[in-house]
Amino acid sequence: MRSRFKKWALPFIEEHEEITLSLPFEDKTFFESAPLYLEIGSGKGDFIVSLAERHPENHYLAVERDVSSLGTLAKKIVEKELTNVKIVYQDFDKVAPELPKEGFKTIYLNFSDPWPKKRHSKRRLTAKPRLETYLSLLEKGGELRQKTDNEGLYEFTKEEVEGTAFINLVDEKDYVFDEENDAMSEYERNFRSEGKPIYRLIYKK
């Protein structure tokens, strides 16, 4: 679901150059100076902000193409004065070629759009060509972590992973939230409050 259009979001993002990375990335220091984590489709950002607060030793990159959601995330980063999260306002497919190869410890996909119609399956974030991209971006032993409320997307990911170099570590149909090692996104909080089961997959490169 698209968030309500927020007029202030783009000016706010543009005004806060200290948290924004724009294509082409000229200064790559952020990628090179700490262990690096990527979230694709961060939405309003509760997940990545929570991880970044708990792990100041890491760097977190949020890629989001919806300006209104990203505006909300940007506000949280600024208000909390976090220096270890950067945002990119762009579609992931355009960002991917600019990202450091084998540069990421983990890639997170939280409640990605399921695109339920078969003719839209190529848009899903776990379509095979994107999985190959994730493999190129992850360091050896790095992880792809997906959570979803959507059984169809969960099954699709498992099918698409077949024949790739990913090794399955976790496959859960009713994931009990791991407070210590995980964080909750806005969508996860909503789905849990409705009593919906959460599907979780973790793969290792």
Q: Catalog residues that contact ligand SAM under the rule CB under 6 A.
A: 40-43, 63-66, 69, 91-93, 110-113, 185-188
Q: How far is the CB of 104 from ligand SAM (least distance, A)?
A: 16
- Out of 113, 149, 171, 178, pick the active-site residue: 113
Q: Which is nearer to ligand SAM, 42 or 126 (CB)?
A: 42
Q: Which is nearer to ligand SAM, 140 or 189 (CB)?
A: 189
Q: Which is nearer to ligand SAM, 62 or 141 (CB)?
A: 62
Q: Which is nearer to ligand SAM, 33 or 94 (CB)?
A: 94
Is 113 a catalytic site residue?
yes
Q: How far is the CB of 66 from ligand SAM (least distance, A)?
A: 4
Q: How far is the CB of 61 from ligand SAM (least distance, A)?
A: 12
- SS3 sequence, the chain? CCCCCCCCHHHHHHHCHHHECCCCCCCCHHHHCCCEEEEECCCCCHHHHHHHHHCCCCEEEEEECCHHHHHHHHHHHHHCCCCCEEEEECCHHHHHHHCCCCCEEEEEEECCCCCCCHHHHHHCCCCHHHHHHHHHHEEEEEEEEEEECCHHHHHHHHHHHCCCCCEEEEEECCCCCCCCCCCCCHHHHHHHHCCCCCEEEEEEC
Q: How far is the CB of 147 from ligand SAM (least distance, A)?
A: 8
Active site residues: 113
